[in-house]
Homo-oligomer: A and B are copies of this chain.
């Protein structure tokens, strides 16, 4: 179902934001909760740092998760390609 953009209210690190997105409100809330949880976690592990620095460290932390996941995905794709090639080779050889 085409929905267009919707606005969802979320609370991140104690402040309410209105997020306008193509994603449905449940997804927006899930993403906001992920950011909120990381911010509180980073804030607890780094005493007395500003919200600005907490948010930047959170962005870096999530970017690292994102890059790690991209790398894992690439390795999986390469593994599937290798396996597929070897299965095709086996099937081809079995014909003779």
A interface residues with partner B (beta carbon < 8 Å): 12-13, 17, 19, 21, 23, 27, 30-32, 34-35, 38-39, 50-52, 55-56, 58-60, 62-67, 69-70, 72-73, 76-77, 80, 87, 91
Residue of B nearest to A70 (CB): B69
Chain B residues contacting A50 (CB-CB under 8 Å) are 52
Chain B residues contacting A73 (CB-CB under 8 Å) are 69, 72-73, 76
Chain B residues contacting A59 (CB-CB under 8 Å) are 35, 38-39, 55, 58-59, 62
Q: Is the CB of A32 within 8 A of B60?
A: yes
Chain B residues contacting A38 (CB-CB under 8 Å) are 59
Contact of A19 among B30, B60, B77 (CB under 8 A): B60
